[in-house]
């Protein structure tokens, strides 16, 4: 049976544009989802830039106005990889145009925006996913299975950190990820959103929290606004950093667990240290993105004397998604989290089944982000439901 | 020159009694401190028990009333290893009797008690130390040197967890460590006090914090009050657990760092997971008690491409205390932290020099504990100075 | 400037066929080599099988006789992923037909075959590479740079193991990898060849060696000849295993180092434990395929007290090939070793530069394999040059 | 019941003298063996040195001639911690004098010596132990239980390395451990003997082997003959190194396993890297002295998906010897291996039971050492039984 084609229109073309584009191209090789993604169009304001991106990534055409892309009849899915302040407008327009939507995280700048996005998607009856790609790591998916099946019992603790160090140099310039009007928040929305998603996925909803946020370097040289890791500074002027360098929060979960979270770009030596530990009455799991194929598992019912954390290389057929790739012991990497996410999403479109994390998840994540910001500002515990 | 004898009188004789007694006996073999500890007397209420302890540990005599021990002329140092609710009375009496004092942690049940203890010691002009033994690990002492010398630069983050799992079984009985009137608090004072001490030692004072405490198992069988890890339960009755099973807190340090702390007895698979990470502008350190000889060190000025955490086995002559023991690569264990602590304390007595952590440290630690309890109760940030 | 197309004809289509095909498709996304590989044809004897493979992998056409593929004018590169006993005939024919050649390891069944292959390639003036893909891991490439630049000084020790466990079940059937006439040897040629290549790449030539080979399970059920990890057995008959389950050898290197090697499929718990350690006068490196992004590096000129193995996540711009992929801390996987290998090979074709490991390397590897087999049989040291 | 006193006479007083003396003193605190070791006398040729050692270690008297010590009526056990070339004469004299014997490894310089020692001990009917202390680590003892109980099934592989780096500096002087007439061999007898003992203890007897030995630095400055790790060189003269810097061997075990061994003092970054891995049909274990409390265990009958090496902190009551020390998660160190060894030995004296490793073990170890030396010299496989 011929695979159904899904024609992708991508808005934006930086780091995430590269990651998504690669996944579209590589997906059909590994997964027989019944869907063939067709890289139809890409949109960006700078014509030279978007034309080059179209060629580099393999899109058949380009637009310099995202509104035109959204309106095109030959687009089935709109993929939003732009800075955070543009997600809502694009997604709502795409939903109204009847397109399925893939949106980078965090879903929006505010809870209100996120709510409008969720409502737009629901009204339009289109499918939408937020790119919390790390929950699609085989190790995390397997951890989820262990927890859902009761293998760890009642969960007592969630302990998650997302530690990076790429802006520790005070001379690193004020790129868009450091400007509130564009990004909403700093480490919080960028990487904190990821550990919120992992915790929600693995354990459940956060009910209330107390938080603090820090900006260690309060002024930075201006420079390439759009720059990433290696952005160049502009020698002559500086600007105020109005987003957080680090955020930390304590949280209660609806099912009774205690959460301790930290997201920072100032943890020297941690390039991409996304780590989560979950402790339950019957066992525990630990995971670290930098060695993402491994899951540490402790089972309290192991024989006395033989109890200890196991290092499981989640590359075996029992591990979700792993069977699509290589034999046991042949690891996969960062990019495969996107392939797994898209494969799941496309199957949900074809199968007309639910697909998580959807915009409701994105909204709930946003509520937690907002609760953290409010708690940090007010110095009080905040109920997530009241945000 | 003959070593000076210091005659030790120990009050209490359970787990910590064993650890301290061993250290007294073993210390002279490794350290030439100019002091010979003489195990003169041990006190306990139960005559059969204390007599057996005297024989087992090697004390020359015993008392069934600690007051008699404190009054004896042939005692120079009173070592307090009793449950927390007795520390203050014993320590104050010992100070008044002109004895130097070693006291287990946490120093007291309340800030008021701790203050009285500090004042008593200061008035009497005796030396006193609180048994925060983990700061005497060579790896921690070396980390302190790195931080003090500026090798890590300005400190941004402290991340510490003390994770245990020994009371996870709901059938584990209500031993003294789970009764507020005896112990003051649960995981907080027992193991949380240790990570507060490590953080204070390595980084500085905590100014304010927000906290939460949890009791996951709220009722337990009664059983051996004095029991430890393998305490037996009494089949017929239960009692209320009025201390915390877990505590977590976010904290600001006086020099600007952000602290994230967690102490719990419900982290399955962690027998004694006392872990601390410190991130500074020029580098980071990580440490874990279960592999206590190792210090992970990251230095940001390592050549690009060659940057990564080093695993340093702190058994070399450059590592504090290590030279007293064995050649490089021949590790030491838990008990040596006490030997190092006592060696330091005895040298301070002989040398009439300062010795940390003293009762002022114990008081400051207690203030943080109290602030955590208040914050958890009120749901607000608490300034440590106002406790 | 338009990229030059290189039209690939692949012979064979099992596990390695999948790995190579993926790499052809994925390569242009990451590398701008000036070459576009075009997946022109694939050959296999079973028409249904090869047709399905062509579709699955993305080849435009197929042949049921490899000779026809080799003769086709529209093929520039012949890629040989068939069992070992067919490499020589195909490669020699391909060379005669003027095709560049990619050949899976081990290059041949015998030194004689390997010599003929190397000569054929040299005479034809085509480029040829042997798929020792692991040397194309960024961590290994970086280790090579450290060694070549003298950073480790004179090399004293090479310690390499390739540990697997996929045939430990005595009921696992007698697949082609366990039949001498097809594969030449067992663990030795399959995985031992990889650690020989790593050692030759990093340190130099092996001059002489003493070896032993073992077959722990001497008879196995017959079953799917072509089967891989999950091959099914045939219930009714058994056959003799005439290849090694494990091989070990001690070796001297031309520059003076001592090598200790082991390749086995009977190391329970090691799915794909390809590990190498190199110790030099100024430092050491350690690597493990199961965490292939990490390189452990020890530098003896680190300050005393700060000496220890560093864990370097080789995902930074300083690490070879890493810049083509993702930002620091975003790891790559098994498949990228092939992408890196092909990128290197294609650049050498376009640039008319040398490309290693070529068939001379394959021949030298084969000599070592043969020396190991001879040594094991004779119970004597064997000089590699005399094989 | 009063403990029986065993009066110890120690011959020698360097590094091992310190380790043994400490163990005698510390043992009664932890173990109730029914024996109290009394440190009666110590012997050494240099009166000033031996007098200082007696005081430092806690011996009640000293002798400047070991023969006098051996003859003393008030000595029950002779402990030999002298250089290897003196073991035989002292041990044989001690046996003839009816003393029990503790002897440092390797037992002797030659197989003949070892045989005479074993015979002397057997004839005299005294108990004797060789100080292969590492087999007394709780983790190793527990591994032995797993193997003996069949938990790992048939053993296929033993892989052991003892890696050090303390003489890598070519300016390190020619201490006694580098002089054949005193020590017999270099890395081989000093550290290779330890991994032979571990392998024999865990798996069984070595039947035949092929070996190679290397001396990387062939000439060194003269210096303190008796020096250890920090020995000073003498600026003016050099001498020939006539022992091995490194040794490696392949071996077959009587029960069918394949062994790969390496002992070296030239593995930069490895201060004391005594590592052993055993792979069996049902599981595997791995151990590393530098983190000696941990045992890695893989069990093939773990549920698919949940298979991986467990890190077991062998500090629980199920782990041999661990119960004598501290609660779970409170680690022990190097020195405790001697305490465990002596406790075992003393119990065997009191209980008149067998105690391993005895001089028969020492002899078998010596045979393997001798077989390695012969094999290295002749370039042939050597049968251990024919040495």
Calculate mean pLDDT across residues A88-103.
98
Question: What are the Cα distances from residue B304, in Å, to B301, C313, C314, C322?
Answer: 8, 12, 11, 14
Which of A304, A307, A318 is closest, CB to CB, to D305? Answer: A318
Residues of D in contact with A319 (CB under 8 A): 305
Q: What pLDDT is recorded for position A2?
A: 65
Task: Report the distance separating Cα B106 and Cα A139, nearest Å.
Answer: 40
Task: Report the distance separating Cα C207 and Cα C209, nearest Å.
Answer: 7
Whether the bond into C106 is cis, omega within 30 of 0: yes
B229 interfaces chain D, CB cutoff of 8 Å: yes
How do residues A354-378 score in pLDDT, each as one tens digit? 999 999 999 999 999 999 999 999 9
Q: What pLDDT is recorded for position D227?
A: 66
Q: What pLDDT is recorded for position C34?
A: 86
Task: Report the distance separating Cα B143 and Cα B320, nearest Å.
Answer: 10
The pTM (predicted TM-score) of the whole model is 0.97
How do residues D18-60 score in pLDDT, each as one tens digit? 999 999 999 999 998 888 999 999 999 999 999 999 999 999 9
Instruction: Count CB atoms within 10 A of the CB of residue C379.
Output: 13
B19 interfaces chain D, CB cutoff of 8 Å: yes
D306 interfaces chain A, CB cutoff of 8 Å: yes
Q: What pLDDT is recorded for position C248?
A: 98
Cβ-proximal residues to C200 (8 Å cutoff; 6+ apart), any chain: C206, C361, C364, C365, C368
Task: Report the distance separating Cα B132 and Cα B147, nearest Å.
Answer: 19
How do residues D150-192 score in pLDDT, each as one tens digit? 999 999 999 999 999 999 999 999 988 899 999 999 999 999 9
Tokens 């195990």: give the residue: B39
Backbone angles phi, psi at A2, to 5 degrees: -65, 140
- CA of D168 to nearest chain C CA: how many angstroms apart? 7
Task: Report the distance separating Cα B162 and Cα B288, nearest Å.
Answer: 9
Mutate to test the interface with C, among D146, D211, D230, D268 (most CBs of C within 10 A): D268
Q: What is the 3-state secondary structure (H, E, C) of chain C?
A: CCCEEEEEEEECCCHHHHHHHHHHHHHHHHCCCCEEEEEEEEECCCHHHHHHHHHHHCCCEEECCHHHHHHCCCCCEEEECCCHHHHHHHHHHHHHCCCEEEECCCCCCCHHHHHHHHHHHHHHCCCEEECCHHHHCHHHHHHHHHHHCCCCCCEEEEEEEEECCCCCCCCCCCCHHHCHHHHCCCHHHHHHHHHHHHHHHHCCCEEEEEEEEECCCCEEEEECCCCCCCCCEEEEEEEECCCCCEEEEEEEECCCCEEEEEEECCCCCCCCEEEEEEEECCEEEEEEHHHCCEEEEEECCCCCCCCCEEEEECCCCCCCCHHHCCCCCCCCCHHHHHHHHHHHHHHHHHHCCCCCCCHHHHHHHHHHHHHHHHHHHHCECEEHHHC
How do residues D103-128 score in pLDDT, each as one tens digit? 999 999 999 999 999 999 999 999 99
Calculate mean pLDDT across residues B222-243.
79
Which of C142, C304, C310 is closest, CB to CB, to B318? Answer: C304
> What are the tokens at A370?
């907002």
Helix (H, G, I), strand (E, B) or coil at D367: helix
Buried b or exposed e, range A147-167, using 16+ CB within 10 angstroms: beeebbbebbbbbbbbbbbbb
B148 interfaces chain C, CB cutoff of 8 Å: no
Confidence category of residue A231, pLDDT binned at 50, 70, 90: confident
Calculate mean pLDDT across residues D305-315.
98
Calculate mean pLDDT across residues D288-312.
97
Q: What pLDDT is recorded for position A232?
A: 75
- CA of A114 to nearest chain C CA: how many angstroms apart? 28
Confidence category of residue B153, pLDDT binned at 50, 70, 90: very high
Handedness of CA D202, D203, D208, D212 (dihedral sign): negative
How do residues C56-75 score in pLDDT, each as one tens digit? 999 999 999 999 999 999 99
Mutate to test the interface with C, among B285, B304, B308 (most CBs of C within 10 A): B308
Share of chain A above pLDDT 90, in %: 92
Q: What pLDDT is recorded for position D158?
A: 98
Which of D58, D290, D336 is closest, CB to CB, to B313? Answer: D290
D55 interfaces chain B, CB cutoff of 8 Å: no
How do residues D206-263 score in pLDDT, each as one tens digit? 999 999 999 999 999 998 766 666 777 776 789 999 999 999 999 999 999 999 999 9
Does the pLDDT value for residue D1 go beyond 60?
A: no
How do residues C292-302 score in pLDDT, each as one tens digit? 999 999 999 99
Chain centroid to Cα B144, Å, comes to 17
Q: How many CB pairs under 8 A join B and D?
A: 112
How do residues A277-301 score in pLDDT, each as one tens digit? 999 999 999 999 999 999 999 999 9
C304 interfaces chain B, CB cutoff of 8 Å: yes
Q: What pLDDT is recorded for position B180?
A: 93
Q: What pLDDT is recorded for position A55?
A: 94
How do residues A319-347 score in pLDDT, each as one tens digit? 999 999 999 999 999 999 999 999 999 99
Lowest mean pLDDT among B135-144, C1-10, C39-48, D93-102: C1-10
Q: What pLDDT is recorded for position A10?
A: 98
Q: Which of C195, A330, B329, C172 is nearest to D260 (CA)?
A: C195
Does the pLDDT value for residue B89 go beyond 70?
A: yes
Task: Report the distance separating Cα C162 and Cα C140, nearest Å.
Answer: 15
Low-confidence spans in chain C with pLDDT less than 70: 1-2, 225-229, 235
Task: Report the distance separating Cα B259 and Cα B282, nearest Å.
Answer: 18
Helix (H, G, I), strand (E, B) or coil at A115: helix
- CA of A57 to nearest chain C CA: how many angstroms apart? 7
> What are the tokens at C16?
């390695």
Average pLDDT, chain D: 95
Q: Which of C300, C324, C308 is nearest to C136 (CA)?
A: C324
In contact, D221 and D171? CB cutoff 8 Å = yes
Residues of B in contact with C306 (CB under 8 A): 297, 299, 310, 312
Does the pLDDT value for residue B374 go beyond 60?
A: yes
Average pLDDT, chain A: 95
Element (H, E) at A230: none
Task: Return residues 260-299 of D near C (CB < 8 Å).
Answer: 260, 262, 264, 266-270, 277, 279-284, 298
Helix (H, G, I), strand (E, B) or coil at B384: helix
Q: Which of B266, B277, B270 is nearest to B198 (CA)?
A: B277
User: Which chains lie within 8 Å of chain C at 3 or more CB pairs, if any?
Assistant: A, B, D
Average pLDDT, chain B: 95
Instruction: Count CB atoms within 10 A of the CB of residue B218.
Output: 10
Helix (H, G, I), strand (E, B) or coil at A63: strand
Q: What pLDDT is recorded for position D235?
A: 67
Instruction: Count CB atoms within 10 A of the CB of residue B318.
Output: 17
Q: Which of A283, A262, A284 is nearest to A273 (CA)?
A: A262
A40 interfaces chain B, CB cutoff of 8 Å: no
Q: What pLDDT is recorded for position C14?
A: 87
Residues of A in contact with C330 (CB under 8 A): 272, 333-334
Mutate to test the interface with D, among C260, C284, C311, C371 (most CBs of D within 10 A): C260
A15 interfaces chain C, CB cutoff of 8 Å: yes
How do residues B31-43 score in pLDDT, each as one tens digit? 988 889 999 999 9
Question: What are the Cα distances from residue D87, in Å, to B25, D23, D64, D72, D120?
Answer: 31, 21, 17, 18, 13
Q: What pLDDT is recorded for position A141?
A: 98
Question: What are the Cα distances from residue A223, in Å, to A228, A233, C7, C150, C241?
Answer: 11, 4, 44, 39, 66
Contact: B249, A250; criterion CB under 8 Å: yes
């Amino acid at each position: 049976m011929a695979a159904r084609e899904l024609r992708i229109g991508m808005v934006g073309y930086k780091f995430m544009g590269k990651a998504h584009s690669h996944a579209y191209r590589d997906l059909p090789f590994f997964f027989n989802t019944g869907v063939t993604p067709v890289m139809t169009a890409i949109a960006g304001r700078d014509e030279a830039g978007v034309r080059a991106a179209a060629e580099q990534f393999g899109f058949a055409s380009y637009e310099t106005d995202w509104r035109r892309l959204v309106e095109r009849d030959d687009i089935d899915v709109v993929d939003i990889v732009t800075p955070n302040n543009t997600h809502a407008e694009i997604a709502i327009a795409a939903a109204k145009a009847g397109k399925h939507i893939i949106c980078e995280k965090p879903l929006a700048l505010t809870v209100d925006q996120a709510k409008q996005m969720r409502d737009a998607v629901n009204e339009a009856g289109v499918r939408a996913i937020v790119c919390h790609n790390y929950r699609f790591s085989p190790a995390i998916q397997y951890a989820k299975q262990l927890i859902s099946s009761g293998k760890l019992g009642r969960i007592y603790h969630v302990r998650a950190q997302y530690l990076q160090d790429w802006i520790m140099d005070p001379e690193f310039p004020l790129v868009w990820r450091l400007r509130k009007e564009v990004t909403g928040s700093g480490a919080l929305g960028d990487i904190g959103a990821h550990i919120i998603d992992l915790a929600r996925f693995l354990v459940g909803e956060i009910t209330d929290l107390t938080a603090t946020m820090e900006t260690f370097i309060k002024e930075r040289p201006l420079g390439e606004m759009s720059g990433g890791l290696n952005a160049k500074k502009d020698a002559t002027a500086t600007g105020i950093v109005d987003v957080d360098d680090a955020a930390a929060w304590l949280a209660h979960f609806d099912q009774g667990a205690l959460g301790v979270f930290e997201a920072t770009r100032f943890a020297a030596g941690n390039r991409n240290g996304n780590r989560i530990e979950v402790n339950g009455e019957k066992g525990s799991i630990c995971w670290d993105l930098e060695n993402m194929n491994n899951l540490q598992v402790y089972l309290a019912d192991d024989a006395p004397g033989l109890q200890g954390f196991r290092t499981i290389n989640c590359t075996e057929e029992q591990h979700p998604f792993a069977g699509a790739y290589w034999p046991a012991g042949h690891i996969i990497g960062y990019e495969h989290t996107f392939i797994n996410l898209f494969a799941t999403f496309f199957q949900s479109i074809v199968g007309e089944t639910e697909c998580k994390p959807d915009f409701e998840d994105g909204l709930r994540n946003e509520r937690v982000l907002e609760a953290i910001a409010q708690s940090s500002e007010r110095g009080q515990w905040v109920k997530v439901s009241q945000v």
